Structure 1
Amino acid sequence: MDILLGLVKTPAVIIAIVAFLGLLFQKASISRLITGTALSFIGFTMIKVGGSILMKVLTAFSALFSKAFDIVGVVPSNEAIMASTIDKLGATAALILLFSMILNILIARFTRFKFIYLSLHLVLFMAFALTAVLMQFGFSNYQMIIICSLMIGTYMAVSPFILNRFSREIIGSNEYAISHAAISSYIIGSYMGKWFGNKSTDTEHLNISSKFDFIREPNIATLLTMLVLLLISCIFATQPQVKDAMTMVYGAGAGDKNVVIFILEQSAIFACGLYLAKPSC
């Protein structure tokens, strides 16, 4: 019984069960059932592993940047924060994801909001964020599951409906719609495009020099961005501050590394962590 309860409380197992039930209701083949369930389990584990990598790099970078420019702040990252709280909030957040999906399906079936939200990794981030906030106010697990499931499940059905009036002009049909956690920026951008844009021009048709094709690769863009940020931080930080940041990453082996290797290696590790932490859901 203890083993069974331990499995049910494990976030990755709950996600796998959700995937299994979804495929089962779709009458998927045995092969697809096994593959989908296993990949869901692996995918959630990848988020945890990738987030842990991000957390380590971001902790060192945040400390270095804050000391270099004498400011106090945080470096937000959905994946990193989720990885740091997954053991404490993971089971609750996973159950919120399950009940939010069920509510989304019910709303789509019985109301005018006929959309199913498919970006489940974003829903999972929302579940973690809301759970963390409500926990600070002293809500119990049952209360958090009910409140968050109602809020997120409603959002999952309503947000694509709101954006559908804009997306169907681009797509040309109501076959599918677009939604995202940044729905407010989508709405603002849609109105800005309507008022000031020109439908005869399309960013997809812009001619960009082949010299900059490498920027289209997300992993390279991430690596370069982190490289620039670390380089700037190291330039403005003192040598002891840089050594402190390197010690956070390398521990006792910090003395064997030079600054250039530190910048290059941590930029690559950050890109690797972000790649692992963003599996398709």
Structure 2
Amino acid sequence: MTDHIESLAKGLIGEPAIFLGLVACMGLLLARVRLMRVLSGTIKVMVGVVLLQLGASAAGVALSNLAVLVQDRFQVIGYIPHNEAVTALVQINYGREVAITVVVGVIVHLLIARFTPIKYVFLSGHHVLFMAAVGVAVVLPAQIGWWQYLLCGSVLGVSMSLSPALIQRYVKQVTGDEKVAVAHFNSVGYFLAGCLSTALFKSPKRKYLFPNIVRKLEPLMQDHLVVICAFSFLLFFTAAFFSVGTGSNDLFAGQPFFIFAVVQSLWFTAGMYSILIGVRMMVAEIVPAYEGVSAKWIKGSIPAIDAPVLFPFAPLAAIVGFLVSFGIGVLTMFAMMTLQYTIIIPGIIPHFFSSGTVGVIAFRLRGAKALFFVCAVHGLLLSLLPLLLVPYLADLGYTRTTFADTDLQLIGILLGWLIQ
């Protein structure tokens, strides 16, 4: 039985394209549209998700190369927050337990959506696995008995319901409506971004402008593709320039560091473009398809989708938010090295996706000043919270990795504290 549950969790929940495709298909069938419309909508949703994944993969490869440059240049050894890596380790050790937790959590979540006013349905399958892995990794080593599954599953289900609800008012201000919510376990970070932006900054007269230094480039900056490519080239060029003569030369594959920077910035830009196109395609189809599910099963429910759903509303702000947050992460790493403390090496992927989304929220709410300040705070948060979580993951061994996003870290810390 548990083998079948594990297979279901990995094959369905663990494959976002299939999972969201099935949701779209069921919604369109319940809406009683024509068969060709069902087929078209289902395929477009799945292709949109795959485009998002391809874009994330392309951008991730480039960012991983950037991480190698940083580590080789400064010869840093420490913990790298990376959700996918640590979740894989948890599944190797506790695969069946993670699968059972996922099933229990999804049931609890759907019951909450069906019978309470919290009507968000969490559709980001990989984050479901991340949160399940956090609970299992922290709770199971304590060997507290069979009800550990109920505890972990309940925490997962409640988190899936509360996470989108916590930040929906800010998401609504970004998107202009309530057709979609955000399903990403960094909701505490997004909530903090919204609170700080609205509390500390007034709405600027020209709300979405950056400072004077870049206003002359404003016509050019309307072309997000060009701006993203330029920003990413400067980032890779700087990292490659200072890495010449280190162990990173093998990464250049015989190319001049200048050419390496150009290629990596193009990969990153192409990845971002694919993400934006995939999000638009997915949302355009999943929202009308989901109305069928909402009308028949969970009336009034709102689909919650992964954080890049906000990127198209301010792509440049997402890139600037990432750069600010990552810069703070690097500075914090140096401070830890100076203090000879446990070192958290900034994880490129969480700084990009989580802080990029923080940048979009802050920028759309209160403009560029709020973006710089809030993303700096968020970068510091991503650098310090892992220090508190690492001791509770000791049972996984000397892994050199940990969970990255605020919700995962805080839930892990809270569960670890309660268990101990």
- Give the TM-score of the pair, scaled to structure 2: 0.46
Are 2:243 and 1:237 equivalent residues in the alignment? yes
Q: Shift in Å at residue 264 of structure 1?
A: 0.3
Q: Shift in Å at residue 94 of structure 1?
A: 11
- Residue in 1 that maps onto 2:41: 36
Does the aligned pair in 1 maintain the 2:68–2:248 contact within 8 Å?
no
The verdict on how the C-alpha distance between 1:96 and 1:217 changes in structure 2, with shifts beyond 3 A counting, is farther
Runs of 4+ in 1 over 6 A off after TM superposition: 74-78, 92-102, 143-149, 165-168, 205-208
- Residue in 1 that maps onto 2:391: none
Distance 2:224 2:157 in 1: 30
Q: Shift in Å at residue 63 of structure 1?
A: 1.7
Aligned length: 258
The verdict on how the C-alpha distance between 1:33 and 1:100 changes in structure 2, with shifts beyond 3 A counting, is farther
The verdict on how the C-alpha distance between 1:212 and 1:127 changes in structure 2, with shifts beyond 3 A counting, is same
- Residue in 1 that maps onto 2:261: 263
Matching of residues 81-230 of structure 1 within 5 Å: 81=84, 106-113=111-118, 115-117=119-121, 120=123, 123-133=124-134, 136=137, 150-163=154-167, 179=182, 181-198=185-202, 201=205, 203-204=207-208, 209=215, 211-230=217-236
Q: Shift in Å at residue 232 of structure 1?
A: 1.6
Q: Shift in Å at residue 235 of structure 1?
A: 2.0
The verdict on how the C-alpha distance between 1:266 and 1:73 changes in structure 2, with shifts beyond 3 A counting, is farther
The verdict on how the C-alpha distance between 1:197 and 1:58 changes in structure 2, with shifts beyond 3 A counting, is closer
Q: Shift in Å at residue 68 of structure 1?
A: 1.5
SS in 1 for 2:37: helix
Distance 1:101 1:233 in 2: 43
Distance 1:159 1:176 in 2: 16
SS in 1 for 2:120: coil
Q: Shift in Å at residue 43 of structure 1?
A: 3.1
Distance 1:136 1:157 in 2: 21
The verdict on how the C-alpha distance between 1:49 and 1:161 changes in structure 2, with shifts beyond 3 A counting, is closer
Structure 1 gaps, min length 5? 1-6, 247-253
Does the aligned pair in 2 maintain the 1:96–1:145 contact within 8 Å?
yes
Distance 2:208 2:104 in 1: 38
Are 2:65 and 1:66 equivalent residues in the alignment? no
Distance 1:59 1:200 in 2: 36
SS in 1 for 2:33: coil
Distance 2:48 2:180 in 1: 25
Distance 1:262 1:127 in 2: 36
- Give the TM-score of the pair, scaled to structure 1: 0.64
* Correspondence for 2:32 among 27, 30, 48: 27
